[in-house]
C-alpha cells in the first residue's frame, strides 16, 4: 500500500525512521464480507480495515484533528477523514485479491466507503464489485489480503457471507515461519545496499491471509 496514498502510508516511516528489514510499517485488522445477490451468485466484497493505534494517532494528529486528545472526533472531523485511504493509483490492486478455483477474479475500484474512529483506531470500509457475477458451484471463492511490498501487514480477523445461508466461510492464516524465511532470503540480496528500502522485495504474497467461501448449491 505504500506507493498508493502519498503522505498517508509514509507517515509512520517518516515519524520513526526504520531500517529496510523492519517492514511492515502499518498493521491492519481486516474483515471480509462476500456479498451474494438474490440469484445466489457472488456480486462483490465489502472490506473493513482497522488500522493500528500508532498509524491512526499519527494521521489524526498530522491533520490537526482531535486537539483535546479525548479520542472522539466530531462529525465534521470525520468528514475530513472519509476516503483518506481511497486515493488509489491506477495500478494499485487494493491489497485484495479474489480467486475462483485458482483463477483470478477481477474486482472494481472501491465505492461506498466510510470511516470511523473508535478506541484510538481509524476504521474504514469500502465495497468492491466483481467485474462479473461469480457462480461458485462446487468451487471455493478465495479472498486474500496482502500488500505485495509488505509495507502493510494484514490480519484477517473476521470473514462472513451475506445473502446466502448455505455457505461456510473459513479463515486461513499464513505459515509465518515459512514467510519469514522467504523474507530473510530476499533481504539477504540487499546486504549493505542503502536502496533496499526503496526496492524492498515483493514478498507480501508470502504473508497473505485469506477467507475461503464454499457454498452447498
Distance from CA of residue 107 to its chain's centroid? 14
Residue 6 domain-assigned (yes or no): no
Q: Count Cα atoms within 13 angstroms, Cβ side, for 93.
A: 15
Q: What is the mean pLDDT of residues 8-18?
A: 40
Residue with cell 480495515: 49
Question: What is the residue range of 171's domain?
Answer: 11-215
pLDDT in tens, 140-184: 999 999 998 888 999 999 999 999 999 999 998 766 676 666 667
Q: What is the mean pLDDT of residues 76-103?
A: 93
3-state secondary structure of 30: strand
pLDDT value of residue 87 = 93
pLDDT value of residue 18 = 38
Residue 1 domain-assigned (yes or no): no
Measured CA to CA, the distance from residue 51 to residue 188 in angstroms comes to: 30
Measured CA to CA, the distance from residue 146 to residue 204 in angstroms comes to: 6
As for how many domains the chain has, the answer is: 1
pLDDT value of residue 68 = 82
Residue 167 domain-assigned (yes or no): yes
Residue 141 domain-assigned (yes or no): yes
Residue 104 domain-assigned (yes or no): yes
Question: pTM here?
Answer: 0.84
Residue 5 domain-assigned (yes or no): no
Band (pLDDT 50/70/90 cuts) for residue 6 is very low
Question: 86 or 16, which is more confident?
Answer: 86
Band (pLDDT 50/70/90 cuts) for residue 66 is confident
For residue 18, give the DSSP letter.
Answer: -
Residue 67 domain-assigned (yes or no): yes
Residue with cell 466507503: 113
Distance from CA of residue 164 to its chain's centroid? 24
Residue 102 domain-assigned (yes or no): yes
Amino acid at each position: 500500500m505504500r506507493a498508493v496514498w502519498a503522505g498517508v502510508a509514509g507517515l509512520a516511516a517518516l515519524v520513526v525512521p526504520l531500517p529496510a528489514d523492519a517492514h511492515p510499517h502499518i498493521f491492519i485488522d481486516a474483515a471480509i464480507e462476500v456479498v451474494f445477490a438474490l440469484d445466489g451468485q457472488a456480486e462483490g466484497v465489502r472490506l473493513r480495515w482497522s488500522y493500528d493505534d500508532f498509524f491512526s494517532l499519527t494521521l489524526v494528529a498530522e491533520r490537526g484533528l482531535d486537539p483535546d486528545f479525548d479520542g472522539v472526533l466530531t462529525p465534521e472531523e470525520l468528514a475530513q477523514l472519509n476516503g483518506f485511504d481511497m486515493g488509489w493509483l491506477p495500478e494499485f490492486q487494493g491489497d485484495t485479491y479474489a480467486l475462483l478455483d485458482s483463477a483470478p477474479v477481477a474486482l472494481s475500484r472501491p465505492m461506498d466507503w466510510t470511516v470511523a474512529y473508535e478506541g484510538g483506531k481509524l476504521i474504514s470500509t469500502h465495497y468492491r464489485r466483481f467485474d462479473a457475477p461469480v457462480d461458485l458451484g462446487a468451487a471455493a471463492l478465495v479472498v486474500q489480503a496482502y500488500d505485495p511490498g509488505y509495507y502493510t501487514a494484514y490480519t484477517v480477523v473476521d470473514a462472513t457471507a451475506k445473502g446466502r445461508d448455505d455457505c461456510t466461510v473459513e479463515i486461513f492464516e499464513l505459515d509465518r515461519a515459512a514467510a519469514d524465511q522467504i523474507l530473510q532470503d530476499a533481504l539477504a540480496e540487499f546486504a549493505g545496499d542503502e536502496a533496499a528500502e526503496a526496492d524492498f522485495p515483493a514478498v507480501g504474497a508470502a504473508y497473505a491471509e485469506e477467507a475461503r467461501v464454499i457454498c452447498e448449491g
